[in-house]
């Protein structure tokens, strides 16, 4: 699959009627360079101001993200109780596993969950979307701590 580029994002913003400013170009550049990362809007705001040296209002970031998501170039995921995280739509569909103790987040491909997703659908008629939310639990490192594994298994 081909990578979503900064130019594709800029074109999508233009097509949807947004003015193409240096700030919006910088947001697109940060996103285009974010492969494999899940960035919150505050992360994107900070990276844009720091890396690109562009001052911008937080509302510009949110408007840009909303428009890019409507265009199908990025998606967002809810990672536990934190802010939504954004990533490029060209990444393979995946689920997120978030440690409730240390906050570590790791991905697992949707294809690795296919058997479980099919079983959920067969049993309930419900078709889950594993890409939109995270599974909370305890990571391997934290589970190795005394008592955590038992808490995770029952809780």
Q: Tell me, yes or no, whether 84 and 98 share the same domain.
A: no
**CA 115 to CA 90: how far, in whole Å?**
23
Q: Tell me, yes or no, whether 100 and 150 share the same domain.
A: yes
| Secondary structure element (H or E) that encloses residue 150, with its range | helix 148-154
Instruction: Count up the domains in the chain and report the number.
Output: 2
Domain boundary among 73, 88, 103: 88
Q: Tell me, yes or no, whether 80 and 19 share the same domain.
A: yes
pLDDT band at 119 (very low <50, low <70, confident <90, very high): very high
**CA 55 to CA 32: how far, in whole Å?**
19
Strands of the sheet with 105-109, listed across from one edge: 105-109, 94-99, 134-137
pLDDT in tens, 90-115: 777 778 888 888 878 888 888 888 88
pLDDT greater than 50 at residue 150: no
Q: Tell me, yes or no, whether 25 and 74 share the same domain.
A: yes
The domain in which residue 118 lies consists of: 94-154
pLDDT in tens, 13-54: 999 998 898 899 999 999 998 877 778 899 999 999 987 787
Q: Tell me, yes or no, whether 59 and 103 share the same domain.
A: no
Q: Tell me, yes or no, whether 75 and 99 share the same domain.
A: no
Structure tokens at 49: 């101001």
| DSSP secondary structure code for residue 28 in this structure | H
Q: Residue 2: what pLDDT?
A: 57
**CA 155 to CA 151: how far, in whole Å?**
6
Structure tokens at 143: 């589970």
The model scores a pTM over 0.85: no
CATH of the domain at 68: 1.10.10.10
């Amino acid at each position: 699959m081909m990578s979503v580029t900064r130019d594709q994002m800029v074109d999508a913003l233009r097509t949807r009627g947004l003015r193409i400013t240096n700030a919006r170009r910088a947001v697109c550049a940060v996103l285009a360079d974010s492969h494999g990362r899940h960035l919150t809007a505050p992360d994107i705001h900070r990276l844009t101001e720091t890396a690109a040296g562009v001052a911008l209002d937080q509302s510009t970031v949110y408007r840009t993200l909303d428009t890019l998501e409507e265009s199908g170039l990025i998606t967002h995921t809810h990672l536990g109780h934190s802010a939504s995280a954004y990533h490029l739509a060209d990444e393979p569909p995946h689920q997120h596993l978030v440690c409730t103790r240390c906050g570590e987040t790791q991905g697992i491909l949707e294809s690795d969950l296919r058997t479980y997703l099919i079983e959920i659908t067969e049993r309930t008629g419900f078709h889950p979307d594993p890409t939109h939310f995270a599974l909370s639990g305890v990571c391997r490192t934290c589970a190795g701590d005394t008592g955590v594994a038992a808490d995770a298994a029952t809780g």
